[in-house]
Structure 1
Amino acid sequence: MFMVAIFSGLIAGKRRTIEDVPEHLKEPVLADLATLGLDGYGNPVVNEQTA
């Protein structure tokens, strides 16, 4: 889980994107980013509640 946190932080800081994440870590990284309200590019996720 350490690498998931690292990649999530890098994506949140706009230093990496989900495309830079190894395939076996993409799903948990996306799940971690979703809890932060971010997509795989570090952009805020817009849904009906936040729009």
Structure 2
Amino acid sequence: MLYYSRTSKARQDTLHVCLRMMFHLYGPEPEARIELCLRIDLEVQSYS
């Protein structure tokens, strides 16, 4: 995952938590979960 190598530890942790949460909502549909998490991550970055 190239994406992770460019992220800080804190953001990686946030994304991992997000992916785990999304798993409960979406089940085993990785594309939907990852896309949503990356979108959330971009939103978070734009605020900080």
So what's the TM-score if we normalise by structure 2? 0.30
* Higher RCO, 1 vs 2 (CA within 8 Å, ≥6 residues apart): 1
Which structure features the higher share of helix residues? 2
